[in-house]
Each structure stands twice: as C-alpha cells, then as structure tokens.
Structure 1
Amino acid sequence: MSESTPRQSHEASGDDNTKSQLDPGVVEEQPRTNDEPEIAIYSIFTQWEKRFIVLAAAGTAFFSPLSAQIYFPALTAIADDLDVSSSQVNLTITTYMIFQGITPMFIGSLADSGGRRPAYVVCFTIYIAANIGLAVSPSYGALLGLRCLQSAGSSSTVALCVAVVADVITSAERGQYIGLTILPIVLAPALGPVIGGVLSEYLGWRSIFWFLAILAGVTIALVGVFFPETCRHIVGDGSITPPVMYRSLRQIIKRRRGASSKAKGGESTEAPKTKSQFKFKPPNVLEAILILFQKETGLLLLLGSLVFAGFYCVVTVMPTSFKKAYGFNEVEVGLMYLPLAVGSILAAAIVGPLINNNFKRHCQKLGIPYDRSRQQDLSDFPIERARLEIAIPLLALTAATMVAWGWAVHAKAHPAVPGVLSAIMGIGIVGLNNTSNALLMDIHPGKVGTASAAGNLARCLLGAGATAAIAPMVNAMGTGWAFTLAGGLVVLCIPVVFVLMTFGTKWRKELRLKSETPTAHDQLHHQKLHPGGLKTSKARTGGPTRNRLLLRF
C-alpha cells in the first residue's frame, strides 16, 4: 500500500467525503498520484448480488445452531421412547458439540482449496442423510451416532459463511456485512426451542428431524440453482468462468443463452486461471490447529471465545433461572430469548457502520485512498487498531450488562429488567464478535475458511466448558455472584485488546516475512537445480522496502 499519497488529496475532496457520509451507498473515489498503481476492483458482483450472497450464506449457517437448540424440548420424550436415562440423552448433546468443533477444520480447508459450492454439497448431503436416519432411528446407539453425523454436516456452514463474506466484501465494507454471519448463532436459541417444542408436542419428537431434513433439502436446492461459486482461487473477482461443476444452474442457463451485455462487456481484473487451480487438494487439518498457536490469531480467538463463552452461560441458565425466579413455562422461557436476538440484530445495524467508519478514519489519517470497491493492501496498515478500537467500549458494555443481568435475576426483578439487559448484552456480545471476525478475515486473506474453522474450534471448546461450569457456579454462588465472575472475565479481555493493538502489526509482519523466506533446504535445492544461484533484490510492493529472493533461471 503506497504511503506517498499527500494528505491534501483528502482535504481537496471534502465535498465528495461529505456526500459519501450522507449517502452510504456512494463509493468514495479519491484521486491517486501518478506513481500509485491502480488497484483492481475486488468483486464484480453488484451491491444487491453481494447482499443476496451474504444473506444466503447466513441462511445456511442457521442449521448448525438450530440443530442443537431445536433438540432440547424433546429430550424427555426421547428418553422415554428409547427407554434410556436423561444422562444418556444428554451425552448426545456433548458429542454434538465435540463434532461441532472438529469437523470445520476439515471442511474449512476443503472450501479454501476446492471451492465453496462443493463444500456446501458435502455438508448438506451428510446433514440430510443424518436427519432422515434420526427420524427413523430405532435405538439409542443409532441416535448417538447419527447426532454426531448431523453435527458433522451442519457445523461447517458457519465457517463457510464467514469465508463467503471475505470472498466478495472488501475490508472497507465488511463491518456492515459481517454482522449477518453471527445472527444465526444468536437467533437459533430464540427460535429453536419454540419450534422444537411445538413439533414435539403435536407431532412427536421424530418430526423435528423430518422438519430439518425437508428444510435442508429446500436450502441446498436453492443453493444449487442460484448460489454462485465465490472462492477467489477459482473465480477471482467473479469474472472468471468456473468449471461446470462449480456453476449454479442459473449460471449454466445464462451461459447457454448467451451472457448478458454486462457480463460480455466486463473484463476480468485477473489473469485466466490454469487448470491446476482447480485440482483437488486434500484438507489440511493441521493448518487450522497451527493457526491457533500464532501469537496474534491465538489472542484474538481467545478474546472472542471468552466473550462468547459468556453468551453460552446466559442462554444455558435461562431456562432454570427463569423457571425458579418467575415460574415461567417452556413457551415463556423461549420468549425471554427474543430480547437477546433483538440486541443481536441491533448490533448488526449499529456496530457494522462503526467498524466501517473507523476503518475509513484510519485511511484518512494515514493519507491512504479509501475505496469500498477495491481491496487495500493491509500489509503495513494498522488494521488491528482500526478494528479493535471499537471492541473496548463493547467489552465494557458486555461486562456491565452481564453482571447486572445476573443480579436482576437473583433479585427477581420485573421480567422486563433482565429482558432489556439481555438486549443490551446482545449488542455488546455480537458487536464484539463482529469486530473480531472482521479482523480474522483481514489477517488471513486466502485462508478465511481455515481460520474461521480454528475460531469455531476455540468457541466450541470454551463454550462447552462454560456450559458445563455455569450450573455448578450458580448453585454454589448464586446467579448474581456467578455472573459477576463471568463479567470479570470479560473485563480481563480489555488488556488483551491493547496487546493486540500494540504488537499485532509487528507480529503479522514477522509471520509474513517468515513465510516468504526460503528455508536452507529450499535454497540448497534451488542451487542444485539452477547453478546460477540465488540473488537478492529489493522490491517495493505497497509496503516498506524489504529483501526478496529471486531465482535466476
């Protein structure tokens, strides 16, 4: 990213900036200097097409949390029907969460190397087959095994959703879209138990799985007809025609009829991909695990996972706490999840623009052209500070409302009080998650599916621990003190934010230089193949000048 653009270019375009701020749909084009290379358009998809793609991906991500939550009201009925204990049925929840954390490491890597559409086909094929099996399962053993298979099919859709957003949305506008990726995770606890309770009550517990199988079948059919391949290794900015297996039915029909004038006139901003780009690469599970041990990514995932563990604590104790404090039945308890969902929707509407505006502010501060249609080179951009400055007030808000929520339930305050606090808490938790997810995309371009799978593993592990720990904590300490402790853990995340803002850019550069520097084995191998040897040359590629190794053939 060039830093030679004069600050005056922003001052001279003050009218354009004002217009852009008044109309968020206007893309701000800022003048470039003669020595500044033109940055290619990031995606040829229109604004409405991008909205459709992100909403469709978010819709598919709904199945993972929905399958977990819709199951809860039927636990007693399943135990009675299969003649097993409640503990045995609860084991199916534990195994579901284990596979929910592990499977995305395979599918996320597959999606990064082999495309998003094939990954969706694999996921939904497994998921539909598992649900049909669950609907007719004759024994507890079959139920236990098929629940693992159901989790394996659905859990990767969340990681795929995040990867799709990174494919088509630039860093400058990700804030307003990334919020959609978390909505399914938060809406499922509100809608899942209600749907599951109604189906189990009137049609029997097996109808839950028939419902999920039918819904998944309709979804994958719509994906097959309308959803385009977005993986940038395959389609680039979207202008490169993928192989037939990667095309939607709509694309195939359009191609046969002749491309529209827009498609004919558009020129790809990338060179045509060779056939080797489409060769299948086995998923690399170790890559997702290794990402967890990178300094910056590890701290970022710890930050997001700790906050989300607090969310799991709240949704886990809601049924027992509201029944004990207010005498609510299952339907009334289900309705108390709705404020949390409302807060999540508000977070997408409020925090998303804040993330984008803070990114824009840092661009203007550094004299860097800001354009939402082009992906900037973030190699030397302080993206950690641009993203995480928003996280500090969100963490404070989450901690305060979490503590207040615990004491409100403990004191048996009017139900509206914990309801309002849940909505505010939803803004904090989901807003923080949106911020951390946006940064995760920024620091792992090209491997978003794998990085998201690593984040999913961290969330599931800490979420499972929080779910197991919160009930004994409430029994031993009371709801008020239990959530005071949970809020205190959220406060401890604030120093982590400052560490990331201070050292994140440095760690990212070190990791990039390490990955670009050939090992001694690589250098010896090239010297044997090319006696001319290796020479070093200085090259400027949008960041500070640094030595690079060039092969002499």
Structure 2
Amino acid sequence: MQLSTRYQQEDDPNRRDSGTSPKDRSSDESSKAAFPEPDNDFESAERPWTLLSETKVKSLLVVASLAAITSPLSTSTYYPSIVAIAQDLGVSVAKANLTISSYQILQGLSPTVTAAFADSYGRRPALLVCLTIWSIANLGLALQTDFTALLLLRCLQSAGSSGTFALAQAVTADLATRAERGKYMAYAMAISAMGPVVGPILGGLLTQYRGWRSVFWCLAVFGIVLNATIFVFFRETARSVVGDGSVPPQRWNLSLLQMRNGGQDSTFPRPNLDTVERRQKRPSPFTSLMLLLDKENLFISATGGLLYAGYASVTSVLASQLQQRYHYTAVQVGLCYLPVGFGSLLAYRTTVLLIDWNFRREAEKQGLRITKGRQPDVSGFDLEKARLEFAFPFVIVSAGLLAAYGWQMQYHMPLPAILITMFIVALLLTAVMVANAALLTDLNREDAAAIGAAMNLIRLLLSAGAVAVIGPLNKAVGIGWTATVTAVLWVLSLLLLGIVYRDGYSWRADVASDDRGSSTELAGLVRGS
C-alpha cells in the first residue's frame, strides 16, 4: 500500500550511520523506525535527479521565472496609469480602483486551479494556457473603451498571470535536488521581485509619453514572445509526466524543438519509467486548500504570509511618502524602488546560498551524504532544522531595520540611508522566503504547484488586509509607528516558525508511523482473507 505522498520515504544506499538523531532525539533507531521503508525508487541516490544538463536546467528555470514576472508586472504597471484610465473612461478614480480589488480576488483563487492542472497534466501546457489568456486579456485592455470591459478584462488578466509563480516553483521542484533547491528557487523569486521595481517605471514612462493603452500593448507583446519561446523551446519537466527527463511526454506536449528531434533526446539512456511519479487522475482546485489542513504546511505558509504582507504594505506607502516628504515625480519614485529589487537579486548570490550551505552542513552532522545532482533520501533527516536555522536571525534583523526605515522616513532622514535600509531588508527577507518555499516544496514534492498556490493564497489574503489597514494606520500614528508595529508582528510570527522548527520532524515521524501501522493492518487483513 502506498503511503501519502508527503511522508513517503526512500532508502538511500549512501546514507551513513551517524549514531545520533536530529535534535538529539531519544535514539537514532526509534527515529528511523518512525519512518517506513520505501516501496518505490523515485529518489535513488545512485542516479541523477534529472538527466538534463545544468545549462538546460538553468535555461528552463529562467523561462519559468520570466513567466512568473507577469503577475507583479500586471499590478505595478497599472498603478501609474489608473488616473489617466479613469479620466479617459469618464469614471472616478475610486470606481477605477474596483478593478484592483477584482484583480486581487482572482489573484488569490485562480492559482489553485492552475496548480491542480499543472500537477495532473504538466507544467508546459499550464504555462501556455496561462500566457495565452494573459496575452488576450492585455490585447483586450489595450482596445476596450468602457469601464465594464475594463473590469472584466482585468479579471481575465489576473486569471492568466496569477498562477505562474506557483508554476515556476513547481519547475524548480522538478529539476533541483533538495540540497540545491534554495539556490534555484531564488531564480523565480528574484526575477519576479523585479516586477514591482520595473513596473512603476515602465508604466509611468509609457503612460506619460505614449498613453495608457501603450502599457497593455507592451505587456501583450511580452506575453506573445514568451509564449512563443515556451512553445518552441520549453520542454515538459513534471515528474509525473517525464520522470527524470528520460521519458518522453505525450506528443501534444512536445516542444517544437523536441518534435524536430523525433521526441527523444539521443543523449539520454532508454526511458526510465520507474522515475515517473503518481499523478492525480482529475485536477482539483481543492488540493491546495486540503494541503493547508496540515498544521506544518499551515504554520509555514502563515509565517511567510505575515512577512510578505508586512513588507508589501510598508513598501506600498513608499511612493506616497516620497511624493509627500521629498516631492518626487512618479518617475523618480519608481527609480527609488530599484534598490529593493537589487536587494532581492543580490540575495541569490549571498544570503540564499547560506540556506543551501546550512542544508549541507546539517546533512553532514546528521549523517546524510550529499552528492551533486543526486536527490538525497531524507528519512530520519530534520528538514526543518536544515531549512529554517537562518530564518530566525534574518527576520529579527529585518524587523529592526524595518522599524528604522519608518523612523528615518518620519524624521526626513537623507534618502540614501532609507534606500540602503530597504535594500538590506530585501536582501535578508528574500532568503527567508526562499527557505520557507523550499521547505514547503520538500514536504509536498509531488504537489509542488498546489503547495505553491496554497502559499500564494495565504500571502495574498494577508497582504490584501495589510494594505487596507496600513493607510488609515499610517494616517493615525505616522509611518514610524506603522513600521514599528509591522516589525513587532514579524518577530511574533517567529513563534509559528519556532513551533515548526521544534516539532515538525516529530509530526512527520508520527504521521509516517501511523500510515505504516495502517498498511500493516490492511496487509494482515488481506492475508487473513
């Protein structure tokens, strides 16, 4: 009987007996006994996790990450043009803001459908469908002439773009081993983080010099070019379809380049069907919600959501603060967001590497051998400690700097000091978000897209509430106290992460032990009959 995906463990012939269990458990034998022996060989350390070269892996991740930028671009390019759109369509700005609310509603819901489809049928068709919808919506937005069409097309635009970030995370899970997942997951996060940086500048410049319709024409062209790139070059990565890459997908799911080569890479050995993982028979949008019923998934997602919500809400008022206190134009304000984006990008080469380094360090301490390109077995391995150890100091330092940013702005400090502060916050917080996402993917590998959508849903619900509250709060107590309150909430969110850090391993062991007991009982009943 196959165990639930999350707690299924595989035997690793390279596993060393360290003689100690993670976090000084009562005994190594009892810890290992809690996890069942494998009944498949999906993660054998004797063969590469993927047969694709590192260059091909990075190329696929970059394309998936470019798709993930469509959602933040849709939002950030829209803000500078909303006043011009309202004037041109003859509606108030308050009414035009309803298009933002409708966008956010679809932004929270549509990824659950996209993720379920991608986990069942593959990442490539999901990306093609999403980008086709997004491109059509942008063409419609560029041509529409009344508010009703604007409202409906913004919903369609959200439906097309909102699931792409979860798809980028799923592609990362397909191609990267646990030991390297933090580094590769940073691609998607760092590139998507450039959306809120580039978007306001692009939207402001296009609206000012070419009119607001040019914003949507630009997005439509980007979507069409990216969709064509995926159609021609992007190969399927879902392990439920292609396994380690040696199994060809269905003919309709081949890239144009693969079709030209006959559908099979001649450098690969014969198809290894043992690496093809179980797939859902029917995609269900409720898969993401069901994953949140697990307390470890919920606690990790809630912590990430609180951090993201606080960061999004404080940076959302950065523009108005710069205009009010420093009298900057829209283009100058957009340029001030660049350090935030560069902080996220630099995290890929600095703080995110510490996450992967700590994974390898903990693996050595706990007796787990790491081989480049091989997926390590994690039965009896404390994933929570390996992923989250750096999160606590990073969040505490980020919280202190966030409070400092608020008071710097409150007392009209020199702008370089404010921008440097936000740069460091972005540098540290990106690493924490990568660690959270990597741990969730580790725990839900066969539902990688679904857990990404679940995390996205939590983040958007919390950030929507935070953005709604921060305006009145800022008006009532000032930006200094607003940032300080947010910083305190960040520190308090570590309580949830601390529970996962302390108890997550034992929770997984208990569930695996219960599942094994159920399997043994069922086997006894079958033999008795």
Q: Is residue 361 of structure 1 aligned with residue 361 of structure 2?
A: yes
Provide Cα deviations, 1:14-70, integer angstroms capped at 9, x if missing partner. xxxxxxxxxxxxxxxxxxxxxx97533210011111111111111110101100110
Q: Is residue 394 of structure 1 aligned with residue 394 of structure 2?
A: yes
Aligned to 1:409: 409
Q: CA 1:391–1:95 in 2, change beyond 3 Å: closer, same or farther?
A: same
Aligned to 1:493: 493
Distance in 2 (CA, whole Å) between partners of 1:97 and 1:432 is: 24
Aligned to 1:40: 47
Distance in 2 (CA, whole Å) between partners of 1:44 and 1:107 is: 27
Aligned to 2:449: 449
CA contact (8 A) 2:45 2:374 kept: no
Q: CA 1:342–1:225 in 2, change beyond 3 Å: closer, same or farther?
A: same
Distance in 2 (CA, whole Å) between partners of 1:137 and 1:501 is: 51
Q: 2:106 aligns with which of 99, 111, 126?
A: 99
Distance in 2 (CA, whole Å) between partners of 1:374 and 1:186 is: 29
CA contact (8 A) 1:297 1:440 kept: yes
CA contact (8 A) 1:110 1:281 kept: no
Provide Cα deviations, 1:198-241, integer angstroms capped at 9, x if missing partner. 11112211111111111100000000111110000010000111
Aligned CA RMSD, in angstroms, stands at 2.3
Q: CA 1:91–1:380 in 2, change beyond 3 Å: closer, same or farther?
A: same
Q: Offset at 1:494? A: 2.2
Structure 2: give runs of 5+ residues left out of the alignment.
Answer: 1-10, 20-42
Aligned to 1:5: 16
CA contact (8 A) 1:178 1:352 kept: no
Distance in 2 (CA, whole Å) between partners of 1:7 and 1:459 is: 39
Q: CA 1:396–1:551 in 2, change beyond 3 Å: closer, same or farther?
A: farther
Provide Cα deviations, 1:251-301, integer angstroms capped at 9, x if missing partner. 111227x854x23xx244443869xx78x8432122211222211000000
Q: 1:116 aligns with which of 117, 123, 128?
A: 123
Aligned to 1:194: 201
Aligned to 1:271: 274
Normalising by structure 1, we get a TM-score of 0.85
Structure 1: give runs of 5+ residues left out of the alignment.
Answer: 9-35, 524-533, 537-548
Letter of the structure 2 residue corresponding to residue 202 of structure 1:
Y
Partner of 2:523, secondary structure, is strand
Distance in 2 (CA, whole Å) between partners of 1:126 and 1:137 is: 16
CA contact (8 A) 2:138 2:217 kept: yes
Q: CA 1:535–1:61 in 2, change beyond 3 Å: closer, same or farther?
A: closer
Distance in 2 (CA, whole Å) between partners of 1:133 and 1:535 is: 58
Q: CA 1:272–1:447 in 2, change beyond 3 Å: closer, same or farther?
A: closer
CA contact (8 A) 1:395 1:493 kept: no
Provide Cα deviations, 1:373-415, integer angstroms capped at 9, x if missing partner. 1112223210011000010111012101110100000010000
Q: Is residue 84 of structure 1 aligned with residue 91 of structure 2?
A: yes
CA contact (8 A) 1:110 1:119 kept: yes
Distance in 2 (CA, whole Å) between partners of 1:37 and 1:428 is: 34
Aligned to 1:175: 182
Provide Cα deviations, 1:485-538, integer angstroms capped at 9, x if missing partner. 000001112222221111111222344455667699xx9xxxxxxxxxx534xx
The count of residues paired between Structure 1 and Structure 2 equals: 495
Distance in 2 (CA, whole Å) between partners of 1:440 and 1:271 is: 25
Q: CA 1:379–1:98 in 2, change beyond 3 Å: closer, same or farther?
A: farther
Which deviates the most, 41-50 or 374-383?
A: 374-383
Q: Offset at 1:183? A: 1.8
Provide Cα deviations, 1:453-481, integer angstroms capped at 9, x if missing partner. 00000010011111111111110010100
CA contact (8 A) 2:130 2:160 kept: yes
Letter of the structure 2 residue corresponding to residue 354 of structure 1:
L
Partner of 1:447, secondary structure, is helix
Q: Offset at 1:551? A: 6.8
CA contact (8 A) 1:107 1:283 kept: no
Distance in 2 (CA, whole Å) between partners of 1:289 and 1:259 is: 38
CA contact (8 A) 1:175 1:351 kept: no
Partner of 2:349, secondary structure, is helix
CA contact (8 A) 2:355 2:431 kept: no
Which deviates the most, 380-389 or 491-500?
A: 491-500
Distance in 2 (CA, whole Å) between partners of 1:408 and 1:552 is: 74
Letter of the structure 2 residue corresponding to residue 535 of structure 1:
A
Report matched runs for 1:172-321 at 5 Å: 172-255=179-262, 259-260=265-266, 262-263=267-268, 266-271=269-274, 281-321=281-321
Distance in 1 (CA, whole Å) between partners of 2:352 and 2:250 is: 35
CA contact (8 A) 2:45 2:375 kept: no
Distance in 1 (CA, whole Å) between partners of 2:147 and 2:456 is: 28
Q: Is residue 154 of structure 1 aligned with residue 165 of structure 2?
A: no
Q: Is residue 61 of structure 1 aligned with residue 68 of structure 2?
A: yes
Distance in 2 (CA, whole Å) between partners of 1:248 and 1:304 is: 35
Letter of the structure 1 residue corresponding to residue 138 of structure 2:
N
Distance in 1 (CA, whole Å) between partners of 2:528 and 2:352 is: 48
CA contact (8 A) 1:189 1:315 kept: no
CA contact (8 A) 2:116 2:449 kept: yes
CA contact (8 A) 1:112 1:450 kept: yes
CA contact (8 A) 2:205 2:331 kept: no
Q: Is residue 535 of structure 1 aligned with residue 509 of structure 2?
A: no
Distance in 2 (CA, whole Å) between partners of 1:416 and 1:132 is: 39
Which deviates the most, 476-485 or 197-206?
A: 197-206
Distance in 2 (CA, whole Å) between partners of 1:270 and 1:393 is: 44
Structure number with larger C-alpha Rg? 1
Letter of the structure 2 residue corresponding to residue 77 of structure 1:
A
Q: Is residue 331 of structure 1 aligned with residue 331 of structure 2?
A: yes
Provide Cα deviations, 1:51-110, integer angstroms capped at 9, x if missing partner. 111111111101011001100111111111111111111111111111111000001011
Aligned to 2:151: 144
Distance in 1 (CA, whole Å) between partners of 2:135 and 2:185 is: 27
Distance in 1 (CA, whole Å) between partners of 2:344 and 2:356 is: 18
Distance in 1 (CA, whole Å) between partners of 2:62 and 2:330 is: 30
Aligned to 2:463: 463
Aligned to 2:58: 51
Distance in 1 (CA, whole Å) between partners of 2:514 and 2:17 is: 32
Which deviates the most, 370-379 or 352-361?
A: 370-379
Q: Offset at 1:122? A: 1.4
User: Sequence identity, in percent?
Assistant: 36
Distance in 2 (CA, whole Å) between partners of 1:437 and 1:369 is: 23
